[in-house]
Amino acid sequence: MFRRLERRGKHETAHRAKQRVGQVIRYAIATGRATRDPTSDLRGALTSVHVKNRPAITEPREVAQLLRAIHGYRGHPLVEAAFKLAPLLFVRPGELRAAEWSELDLDAAEWRIAAHRMKMRQAHLVPLSHQAVAILRNVEPLTGRGRYVFPSPRTSERPLCDNALTAALRRIGYTGDQMTWHGFRAMASTLLNEQGYAPDIIELQLAHQERNEVRAAYNRAQRLEERRKMMQSWADYLDVLRTSSNVIPFRSAK
């Protein structure tokens, strides 16, 4: 089964499938349904996955040009809104496209993404800056009665497709070798780290997995206010980049 996936070029999927099968069999062992896990015999048998970094713009002057291009984009109003939110929130593209109104509390300026929609299968809280809330309030009259914040123009039963967002990037002149939607995460991570924000807070906001469960629980419980301040400072900085003729340094975190 894993070889068939490999022959289709699905190397990462093959590794994930092996992990899932191993989890099922280990459960079977624990409940008396099996005696050993045969997937352990396949250690090193599958083709290694080579991680390719996605293109991203991280130099402040180039970021400023990108932001001006984004705000100058004219297309479908929902794509325009998602386009403007992407750098502010730096969530994964699929998380943004499939955002649901039930997850949002605009009065509290919070977006709580359900665990089943997250890559790491843990619920994720995104503090919303004033700028992000303003964009979402403009979208609310258009789609607020439905499920999705950004439904497909073809049917409200599905969210915007990935191609719609990618096409918007291409229309403003950025190729796949220059910038991707996933690149907004790398852009934020790079600049926030360079400006002295605690790596723990940045990683937590990126929803990267914390291996230490006790530490992860502490981070989720204790660092929300720090993340709120960081997200607002980030949004303010992006506004300055976009509207200023001179690139000023980002205020360093203490």
Question: Which residue out of 18, 97, 124, 185 is catalytically annotated?
Answer: 185
Cβ neighbors of 87 (< 8 A, separation 6 or more) are 66, 67, 70, 184, 187, 188, 238
Q: What angle is formed at CA 158 by the lines to CA 156 and CA 163, rounded to 5 degrees?
A: 115
Question: Which residue out of 4, 20, 119, 121 is catalytically annotated?
Answer: 119
Q: How far is the C-alpha of 89 from the C-alpha of 252, rounded, in Å?
A: 19
92 included as an active-site residue = yes
Question: Which residue out of 92, 97, 124, 227 is catalytically annotated?
Answer: 92
254 included as an active-site residue = no
Q: b/e for 84-108, b at 16 or more Cβ within 10 A?
A: bbbbbbbbbbebbbbbbbebbebee
208 included as an active-site residue = yes
Question: Which residue out of 117, 182, 223, 228 is catalytically annotated?
Answer: 182
Q: How far is the C-alpha of 99 from the C-alpha of 151, rounded, in Å?
A: 9
Q: How far is the C-alpha of 11 from the C-alpha of 251, rounded, in Å?
A: 42
Question: Which residue out of 137, 208, 215, 251 is catalytically annotated?
Answer: 208
Residue 73's closest CA among 185, 165, 184, 177? Answer: 165
> Which two tokens mark 145?
């009665």
Residue 73: what residue type? Y
185 included as an active-site residue = yes
220 included as an active-site residue = no
Sheet-wide strand order for 104-105? 104-105, 110-113, 124-127
- Annotated catalytic residues are 92, 119, 182, 185, 208, 218
